[in-house]
Amino acid sequence: MNATGDASYRRWLSAIVIAAIVVRVALQVFAELRPALFDFPDSHRYIRVAQNIAAGRGPIDDERMRAGTDPLYPLILAIAPLFGLDDAPVIMRFGRACNGAFGVASILLLAGIARGLFDRRSALFAAALLALDPILLFFNALVLTESLYILLLLASFYAIVRIRVDLAETGTAPHGWGLLAGACMGLATLARSTNLLFPFLIAILLQWFMNSNAARAVPIRRRVLMTSMFLFSSVLVLTPTLIRNHKLYGRIVPVRIGSGASLMEALGPWADGSPGMNRIVYPDFPTHADEYERDRICRATAIDWATANPGRALSLAWAKLKRTWSIVIHAADYASPLLKLACWMTVAPEFALAAVGIWLNRRRPAILALLLAPALYFTLVHMVFVGSVRYRVPAMPLLFILAATAIVRLLPARVESRPH
């Protein structure tokens, strides 16, 4: 019966993956026909940095901004110019193709996470939600970091779940899972610098998560060692960036420089909670200030404004929260009645099912904490920085798992899959 269940699971998962590939290829074609819909300013910055990497100048925007962009995604895009495909439209096309591959791989990882935590049916429903969710599909066609970041985040979570599964089944787990989870989390930070503090939250949850299986308590020494492996590899991956930035600025800078300007975008008399770097009125910079010093001045300016205007800063935090978790997309180019209807028909049910899933799994707090950690973390981050639907996207796949558990409970099955 187990073998039959596994064969059925593989067939259904294969069908979901094929469907995911088909819709992503169709979206690539549509993006070629309507390129303006998928043209974001950040995409051109990533392409410019990729061209500089391929030319041997390193991950720079230009000579004034030598560490202003998260380096991992441009490093991948730089593969195209290395083969002579150095025109911006061609790199854009290559980036979309990479994102499609990242999206399909993410479906398999999400299914593995859901199966490890719950059962086969939950894994299949979660995979189907990720395969066909319109907003995540849309981001697969944008030359932005979201698809890569989601892949790395899910790879880290898959390794973490494997730790728990192995501990539950055999009483031990290879340290390689901890190292892999940390390495993927470190790479995720190189793809999206706002991830910098997330590994420390996960390290705390990992202690609890490893010991949450009632059938087998895990000795604290083993938990500490595994968590240490996780943190060690997540920091180790950042070492090349640390060394490079120390050579450039003589200071310890683990990720890109630019948080000061981003903070000014979010905190100032011009701020309304939405993205808008063009609205910023920058302070005067010393003539010879480098980008590190300029960023420090921007950060201090934003903090000073928030300190002087605490009421307005709190109001902005609430506005950012609403934008981040809005059912509809606020950007003017994507606010047509048809797109709003599509969001209400897909996002609203996903949120409702995830809420039901939270309630159904309320007696499994360690699992809930792990699955909700990205949503909580990025909500807090973007109550400080600007809010946008884009910034909740990485949290959605794990919420799909909770939604899938609700679907499994609501839909009858002729044969229940046994938990794995």
Residue 309 within a domain: no
Mean pLDDT over residues 24-31, rounded?
Answer: 94
Q: What is the pLDDT of residue 236?
A: 97
Give me the domain span that covers residue 247: 145-256
Residue 217 within a domain: yes
**What single-letter amino acid sits at 281?**
V
Mean pLDDT over residues 217-234, rounded?
Answer: 89
Asked if pLDDT for residue 91 goes beyond 80, the answer is yes
Q: What is the pLDDT of residue 216?
A: 61
Q: What is the pLDDT of residue 97?
A: 95
pTM across the whole model: 0.94
Mean pLDDT over residues 162-166, rounded?
Answer: 90
Q: What is the pLDDT of residue 180?
A: 97
Place of tokens 């973390």: 377
CA distance 126 to 112: 10
Q: What is the pLDDT of residue 413?
A: 64
Q: What is the pLDDT of residue 37?
A: 85
Asked if pLDDT for residue 420 goes beyond 50, the answer is no
Residue 36 within a domain: no
Asked if 223 contacts 210 with a C-beta cutoff of 8 angstroms, the reply is: yes
- Output 415 or 79, whichever has higher pLDDT: 79
Asked if pLDDT for residue 334 goes beyond 80, the answer is no
Which of 79-88, 168-177, 328-337 shows the lowest per-residue confidence on average (mean pLDDT)?
A: 328-337
Mean pLDDT over residues 375-402, rounded?
Answer: 96
Region of 65 on the Ramachandran plot (φ > 0 left; ψ -120 to 50 alpha; else beta): beta
What is the chain's mean pLDDT, rounded?
92
Taking only the tens place, the pLDDT of each residue in 242-261 is 999 999 999 999 999 999 99
Q: What is the pLDDT of residue 264?
A: 96
Asked if pLDDT for residue 194 goes beyond 70, the answer is yes
CA distance 258 to 241: 15
- Output 167 or 129, whichever has higher pLDDT: 129
Asked if pLDDT for residue 181 goes beyond 90, the answer is yes
Asked if pLDDT for residue 416 goes beyond 60, the answer is no
Q: What is the pLDDT of residue 58?
A: 93
Which of 15-29, 325-339, 354-368, 388-402 shows the lowest per-residue confidence on average (mean pLDDT)?
A: 325-339
Residue 39 within a domain: no
Asked if 16 contacts 131 with a C-beta cutoff of 8 angstroms, the reply is: yes
**Structure tokens belonging to residue 234:** 């997540």
**Structure tokens belonging to residue 317:** 């935090």
Residue 181 within a domain: yes
pLDDT band at 169 (very low <50, low <70, confident <90, very high): confident
Q: What is the pLDDT of residue 335?
A: 72
Residue 392 within a domain: no
Asked if pLDDT for residue 153 goes beyond 50, the answer is yes
Q: Go through 101-124 and write b for each residue having 16 or more CB atoms within 10 A of its CB, e for each that does not.
A: ebbbbbbbbbbbbbbbbbbbbbbb
Which of 210-219, 309-318, 330-339 shows the lowest per-residue confidence on average (mean pLDDT)?
A: 210-219
**What single-letter amino acid sits at 415?**
V
Q: What is the pLDDT of residue 415?
A: 43
Residue 354 within a domain: no
Of all residues in the chain, the percent with pLDDT exceeding 90 is: 79
Which of 105-109, 185-189, 288-292 shows the lowest per-residue confidence on average (mean pLDDT)?
A: 288-292
Mean pLDDT over residues 227-234, rounded?
Answer: 96
Q: What is the pLDDT of residue 333?
A: 72
Mean pLDDT over residues 206-212, rounded?
Answer: 84
**Structure tokens belonging to residue 134:** 């319109």
Asked if pLDDT for residue 417 goes beyond 50, the answer is no
Number of structural domains the chain divides into: 1
Residue 192 within a domain: yes
Asked if 106 contacts 98 with a C-beta cutoff of 8 angstroms, the reply is: no
Mean pLDDT over residues 14-28, rounded?
Answer: 96
CA distance 116 to 112: 6
pLDDT band at 419 (very low <50, low <70, confident <90, very high): very low
